[in-house]
C-alpha cells in the first residue's frame, strides 16, 4: 500500500483570562505550524480561555459562544488561506441554560465540517465541569478531511475505551483528544508522575486496541491551584510514542503515515476477532 503521510501540529500553550490574547497567540502558532508543513493543526481543550472550571462562577458563561459564531468565522478563512485542517475546542452556548464543552473541525478549504460535544463530564476538586457543561447527546463523530479521517473526543472521554472503539469503528484514522489535565499542590511530584503515565498509557492503549493513530493535546502553565503539565503526544497504531512535548509552551510537529493502519490491523486483527455476540452486558451501568 502506498504511503499516506500527513504532518500534524499539536499546539500546546498557556492561557490567560484575556480571550483575544489567547486567540491571537494561537493564530500566530497556527500560521507558524503551516509554515513548517503542518497539514492538520490540533488545539488544546478550551483553547481560547483559561480552564475556568477550576471554580464555580457564573460570570464564565459569558465566555461561551454559538457554533457557528465569531470564532469559527475567524478560523474558517484562516484554514482556507493556509490549506490546513484545524481542530479547535471551545465553550459552546447552544441555548439559554444549555452549554457544552465542544470542538469544531474545519477542513482545508475553510468548510466547517461540524462539531463534537464532550460526552463524559467530570466533577472533581478544581475540575467542576458538571456546573458548566451539558453532556453531548449526539453520536460519536468522524470527519473526513482533506488529509485524514479524524475522530474527535475531548479530555475525560479519553478514559473510556467504549468512546475510542466506537469512533474507530466508524472509520477514524486519527483519534484526537484535546485535554486540560494537571496536578494540584497536595498531589506531589510522585503522584503527578503516576498521573502522567496513566494518562499516556490509557490513550496509547486506544491506539493499540483500535490500530489507529492518537494525538493528545494538553495545556501548560499554572492556573489557580492547578499546574497543567503539557506532555502532548502522538502515538502510532501499536502504541508507539512517535512524538512528545515537554512541560512548556510548544508546537509539536509529527509526521505520520496513515497507510500503516491497514498493515497493523492485518497483523493484529482485533476488529475481526471481536465477539460482538457477547457484549450486551456493556450496556448496563453495573453488573450485580
Is 170 one of the catalytic residues?
no
Q: Give the three-class secondary structure for 55.
A: coil
pLDDT of 3: 85
- What digits encode the pLDDT tens for the residues 47-96? 999 999 999 999 999 999 999 999 999 999 999 999 999 999 999 999 99
User: Could you give the domains of the chain?
Assistant: 5-271 (3.60.110.10)
List the one residue out of 109, 17, 88 whose CA is nearest residue 57: 17
Catalytic residue among 15, 53, 76, 155: 155
Cα–Cα distance, 268 to 201 (Å, whole number): 19
Is 45 one of the catalytic residues?
yes
> Count of residues for the chain?
288
Average pLDDT over residues 178-194: 92
- pTM (global) more than 0.95: yes
pLDDT of 1: 67
Cα–Cα distance, 13 to 225 (Å, whole number): 17
Average pLDDT over residues 113-138: 96
Counting residues of the chain whose pLDDT is more than 90, the rounded percentage is: 96
Are the CB atoms for 71 and 64 separated by under 8 Å? Answer: no
Is 155 one of the catalytic residues?
yes
Q: E strand or H helix at 79, and its extent?
A: helix 70-82
Q: E strand or H helix at 11, and its extent?
A: strand 5-12
Catalytic residue among 39, 45, 129, 250: 45
List the one residue out of 16, 87, 42 whose CA is nearest residue 233: 42
Amino acid at each position: 500500500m502506498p504511503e499516506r503521510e500527513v504532518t500534524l501540529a499539536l499546539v500546546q500553550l498557556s492561557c490567560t483570562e484575556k480571550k483575544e490574547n489567547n486567540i491571537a497567540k494561537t493564530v500566530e502558532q497556527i500560521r507558524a505550524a503551516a509554515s513548517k508543513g503542518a497539514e492538520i493543526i490540533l488545539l488544546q481543550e478550551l483553547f481560547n480561555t483559561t480552564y475556568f472550571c477550576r471554580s464555580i462562577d457564573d460570570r464564565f458563561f459569558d465566555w461561551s459562544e454559538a457554533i457557528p459564531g465569531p470564532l469559527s468565522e475567524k478560523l474558517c478563512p484562516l484554514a482556507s488561506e493556509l490549506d490546513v485542517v484545524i481542530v479547535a475546542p471551545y465553550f459552546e452556548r447552544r441555548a439559554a441554560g444549555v452549554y457544552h464543552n465542544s470542538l469544531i473541525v474545519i477542513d482545508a478549504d475553510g468548510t466547517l465540517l461540524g462539531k463534537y460535544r464532550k460526552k463524559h463530564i467530570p466533577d472533581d476538586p478544581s475540575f467542576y465541569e458538571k456546573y458548566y457543561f451539558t453532556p453531548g447527546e449526539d453520536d460519536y463523530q468522524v470527519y473526513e478531511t482533506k488529509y485524514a479521517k479524524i475522530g474527535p473526543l475531548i479530555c475525560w472521554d479519553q478514559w473510556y475505551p467504549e468512546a475510542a472503539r466506537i469512533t474507530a469503528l466508524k472509520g477514524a484514522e486519527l483519534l484526537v483528544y484535546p485535554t486540560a489535565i494537571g496536578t494540584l499542590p497536595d498531589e506531589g511530584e510522585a503522584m503527578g508522575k503516576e498521573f502522567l503515565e496513566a494518562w499516556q498509557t490509557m490513550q496509547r492503549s486506544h491506539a493499540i486496541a483500535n490500530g489507529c493513530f492518537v494525538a493528545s493535546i494538553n495545556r501548560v502553565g499554572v492556573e489557580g491551584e492547578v499546574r497543567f503539565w503539557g506532555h502532548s503526544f502522538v502515538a502510532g497504531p501499536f502504541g508507539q510514542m512517535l512524538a512528545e512535548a515537554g512541560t512548556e509552551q510548544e508546537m509539536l510537529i509529527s509526521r505520520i503515515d496513515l497507510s500503516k493502519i491497514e498493515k497493523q490491523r492485518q497483523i493484529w486483527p482485533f476488529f475481526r476477532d471481536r465477539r460482538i455476540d457477547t457484549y450486551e452486558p456493556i450496556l448496563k451501568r453495573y453488573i450485580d
